[in-house]
Amino acid sequence: MEQTFVMVKPDGVQRGLTGKIISTLEEKGYKLRAIKMLRLSEKMAGKHYAEHVEKSFYSSLLQYITSGPVVAMVWEGKNAVKGARTIIGKTNPLEADPGSIRGKYAIDLGRNVIHGSDSPESAQREIAIYFNPEELVDYSMANDKWIYE
């Protein structure tokens, strides 16, 4: 089973979308392995967005992501990285499918509510920034046999 890192960004928390986002991923059938609320330090935010350090929007991205608490999560399931990205929608909410989280709840690129890893490798890198391995809770879900064939 694949793991992905999903984070409700400060705008998502402030707008009261955390519950809806968790519900959406739960209802899909993914398993929640870890969750925590925290406020990112500049250092953590820099690690998370290291790939964007040279981009013109980097400083505003760091300012935004450190502007309030976030909810960091690890979700697990078959093809969870791609599946969660589909549910999250394209980076620019204008191009996001209207049924996706960004399509439903966001307007501006710089206020797109949620983060999701873009590959299994990114997911493992990002999970390690936010969680110690022992914080990933290991358990089985009673309804797995009704979700997976």
Nearest to 36 by CA among 148, 127, 145: 127
Examine the residue annotation and report whether 115 is marked as an active-site residue of this protein: yes
Single out the residue of 57, 94, 119, 128 in contact with ligand DAT (rule: CB under 6 A): 57
Among residues 55 and 144, whose Cβ is nearest to ligand DAT? 55
> What is the secondary structure of 76-143 as a DSSP string?
EETTHHHHHHHHH--SSTTTS-TTSHHHHH--SGGG--EEE-SSHHHHHHHHHHH--GGGS-----TT
Closer residue to ligand DAT, CB minimum distance, 53 or 142: 53
Q: Is 63 an interacting residue with respect to ligand DAT (CB under 6 A)? A: no
Task: Catalog residues that contact ligand DAT under the rule CB under 6 A.
Answer: 57, 61, 91, 109-110, 112, 115, 118
Task: Catalog residues that contact Mg ion under the rule CB under 5 A.
Answer: 118
